[in-house]
Chains A and B, each alone.
Chain A
Amino acid sequence: MLKLKLTRLVALMMAVSLVTFAGCSDDSSDKPSVAYVTNGVASFWVIAEKGALDGAKEFDADVKVIMPKDVEDQKRKCEDLLARGTDGIAISPIDSANQAQLLKQISELTTLITHDSDAPDSDRLCYIGMDNYTAGRMCGALVKEALPEGGEIMIFVGRLGQENARLRRQGVIDELMDRSHDSSRYDEPGTSINEGGKYTVLDTRTDGFDFAKAKAQAQDAISKYPNLKGMVGLFAYNPPKILDAVREANKLEQIQVIGFDEEAETLQGIQDGEVYGTVVQNPYRYGFESVRVLSALARGDKSVIPEDGFLDIPARQIRKDNVDEFRAELDRLTSTAPAADSGDEEGSDEATEADAAAVSETDSQ
């Protein structure tokens, strides 16, 4: 008898807790309900999430933002989304070549677009993002400016399996080697590259989105290569980790840090002269535009898709000469942003500033 009571009690507890959770979800209505799937968990994606949420408000849609941990998680969560029913998925595929099956499944059951990292062989209706190869070359150009005399360079990135990482890296290498513009080239990591020019790309290190490891790898590279002149971080969190490592090794004079994305520490580093420059993309607009395109498609409006299927959100270079302007722009917009937080905690600043950066670009275009 007691056992029965217990089981009942437990069942009740479970039901209550789960129903409470269930209550958090939105009621379904005529609004298009779309999903925005990232390729990992990072502050870069938090900015994109804001864009997606603002897009949802603007275009009267429901958006579910999903940040999977790895490629398996991405598959499972997409399947769950499909099972739940959705009017469209915008995804940044982790390994587009091998995820063909998943992408096919998505495109068969709902509308598929890609953002941030493309899957050109899939049936995606369009790709929203920047041309990663060109952005990589822009980053390479910054390295050249920072190190006119040449020298040894190391590259750091979260994962190389991803199309965007591969292209960025190749862009950096091709620019440094003064090669022609060809995004299909691929230099295997693990061998040092020098084609007789001033620059040597020693190697590329991947950390699998493990931030502690990203820093450790930067430290190890500094120890291993005493003549290291330049360190390039290709994912948002890489440059701050590199900067930490260089600072701790007291090598700010010797090593130039060049990065990607608008992490607060990276921008501060540029202002302080510790980071030479960064190439910023626009995660806010990736999220915003993804929701715009998906909700229009859900309402039957196909005109939102560009002819070549590529919605370009160009990158730009930030150096010491325009970082103040860039940050001022951010600060001005931070005060008007709805989620603006006056707290001086670093994390929240980071998000809102970069968010505002994104807003500013949206406004200017």
Chain B
Amino acid sequence: MKKNLGILAVIAVVFIVTAIGGDGFLSAFNLYNLVERISLYAIIGIGVSFVIVTGGIDLSIGSFIGLCAVTFPFLVIGHNVSLTTGLLLLLTMSVCAGLFHGLLVTKLDLQPFVVTLCTLMMYRGVARHLVSDSTMGYSDERFQPLSLMVGRLSELPWFEGQAWARHVPVALLIMIVIGVLAAVFLNRTIYGRDLMALGRNREAAHLSGINTTKMIILAYVLCSVTSGFGALLFALDVVSVQPSTFGSFYELYAIAAAVLGGCSLRGGEGSIFGVILGAALMRLLMNSIQMLGVSDALEEFVIGFVILLGVIIDVIVKRVVAKRRARQQATVAAGAE
């Protein structure tokens, strides 16, 4: 919590300013949309943070999302595969992609940047070729049961008829579940500890008996599986999937969310709560820009600028805290003498 004070402050300020200056920002309709977007982007951010804590990176997320989003209707609509089989195939595909990345990174010792940069292009090509560039849709009735995942909480049987549930996206619930699982995994299990440890110092982790190869592969698999699932959510939400563009830049949004949330690209550091805040800040900003009526063309600038600001604040706050602690310890030590 303390670690994320800087970004929380930025979120609060942007929120308050938009609430004052933007028409309709606080409407139930807008907040619902905003929370849903944050949830979707946070999910892929959580996925990539597994890889980032090991000191790796996955640049292929965006085009992998494109590939999954295209493949699923290709199977279900194009080839009459049942929904369950389709989902299983999607899962298999995600696991395979993760294994592929992980094996190349560990066994051949290739740089993660290079591996995933190449697969970024490969997945995009496969996605486009598979359906010869035609647009895929998720408006078919067969996807109806899955569409619940991007619907309102009140559409689920457990929350039926409850007024508040109409204003809560199911995606939020999914994100919280994934977030809690991920946080428990990273902070409370031996595997998560190992992952962090090897991110800090792979050599030392290896020498202390951690199977670093297995753990790194696991991180890539978790990342791809989360992306694959995220792909499904994005596609169900947007409904129309263009193979050539769907998902592009999502890897950068995911990585930015993770970094904003305190993950170090050098590895060994990261908090799931922070990643969620990172995703929240970015989506909030995009929404604020629209609500405040800022010129559309300035969008990218504002986002880049505020993210940079957030990271700078974060570093400064951390330094100040560290200095204070050092001083305190010094006085305590002096007092003890």
Chain A residues at the B interface, C-beta cutoff of 8 Å: 2-3, 6-7, 10-11, 13-15, 18-19, 21-22, 24-26, 28, 64-67, 70-72, 75-77, 79-85, 94-95, 97-102, 159-161, 188-190, 206-208
Contact = CB atoms under 8 A, between A and B. Distances in A.
Interface of B: 5-6, 9-10, 12-14, 16-18, 21-25, 27, 29-30, 33, 37, 132-135, 137-139, 234, 238-242, 244-246, 248, 286-296, 298, 302, 306, 309, 313, 316-317, 320-321, 324
B288 to A, nearest CB: 7
A97 B292 contact: no
B238 A75 contact: yes
B238 A71 contact: yes
Contacts of B10: 10, 14
Contacts of B138: 98
Nearest to B37: A76
A15 B12 CA distance: 10
Given A6-B316, A80-B30, A208 B245 contact: yes
Given A6-B317, A21-B302, A25-B294, A208 B286 contact: no
A3 B287 contact: no
Contacts, number: 157
A161 to B, nearest CB: 3
A19 B18 CA distance: 9
B21 A80 contact: no
B135 A95 contact: yes
B244 A67 contact: no
A208 B244 contact: yes
Contact of A79 (B21, B33, B246): B33
Contacts of A67: 296
B23 A100 contact: no
* List of 7 A-B pairs having minimum Cβ-Cβ separation, nearest first: A25-B293, A83-B30, A161-B135, A98-B240, A80-B290, A22-B21, A98-B137
B287 A80 contact: yes
A356 to B, nearest CB: 23
A297 to B, nearest CB: 20
Q: A interface, by DSSP: helix, strand, loop or mixed? A: helix
B133 A206 contact: yes
- The residue among A22, A82, A101 with the most chain B CB atoms within 10 A of its own CB is A22
Contact of B292 (A3, A6, A21, A161): A21
A7 B5 contact: yes
A316 B267 CA distance: 60
A119 to B, nearest CB: 12
A189 B23 contact: no
A64 B297 CA distance: 12
B281 to A, nearest CB: 11
B313 A6 contact: yes
B93 to A, nearest CB: 22
B132 A190 contact: yes
A24 B296 contact: no
B135 A6 contact: no
Contact of A83 (B9, B25, B298): B25
Contacts of B18: 18
B33 A3 contact: no
A35 B6 CA distance: 36
Contact of A18 (B133, B246, B288): B288
- The residue among A14, A159, A188 with the most chain B CB atoms within 10 A of its own CB is A14
B253 to A, nearest CB: 11
Contacts of A65: 296
Contact of A26 (B134, B287, B293, B306): B293
A82 B33 CA distance: 11
Nearest to A207: B244
Contacts of B29: 79, 82-83
Given A7-B5, A97-B137, A208-B245, A18 B240 contact: no
Contacts of B139: 97-98, 100-101
B17 A84 contact: no
Given A71-B242, A161-B135, A22 B23 contact: no
B13 A11 contact: yes
- The residue among A26, A72, A102 with the most chain B CB atoms within 10 A of its own CB is A72
A159 B294 contact: no
A159 B290 contact: no
B300 to A, nearest CB: 10
Given A98-B137, A98-B239, A85 B317 contact: no
B321 A83 contact: no
Contacts of A82: 29
Contacts of B30: 79-80, 83-84
Contact of A3 (B245, B306, B320): B320
B11 to A, nearest CB: 10
- The residue among B10, B13, B289 with the most chain A CB atoms within 10 A of its own CB is B13
A101 B139 CA distance: 9
A24 B293 CA distance: 8
Contacts of B246: 70-72
Given A76-B286, A83-B29, A161 B22 contact: no
A84 B13 contact: no
B183 to A, nearest CB: 25
Given A18-B18, A66-B296, A160-B134, A11 B9 contact: yes
Contacts of B287: 80
A26 B9 CA distance: 28
B314 to A, nearest CB: 10
Contacts of A188: 132
Given A71-B240, A83-B29, A28 B23 contact: yes
Given A98-B138, A98-B239, A15 B13 contact: yes
Given A19-B21, A76-B37, A84 B239 contact: no
A84 B33 CA distance: 12
B24 A15 contact: no
30 contacts: A2-B320, A6-B320, A10-B9, A14-B309, A19-B17, A24-B294, A25-B292, A28-B23, A71-B238, A71-B245, A72-B238, A75-B238, A76-B33, A77-B290, A80-B33, A82-B29, A83-B27, A83-B33, A83-B291, A84-B22, A84-B290, A84-B291, A85-B24, A95-B240, A97-B137, A97-B240, A98-B139, A102-B239, A159-B242, A207-B244
B24 A84 contact: yes
A77 B286 CA distance: 9
A72 B138 CA distance: 13
B242 A208 contact: yes
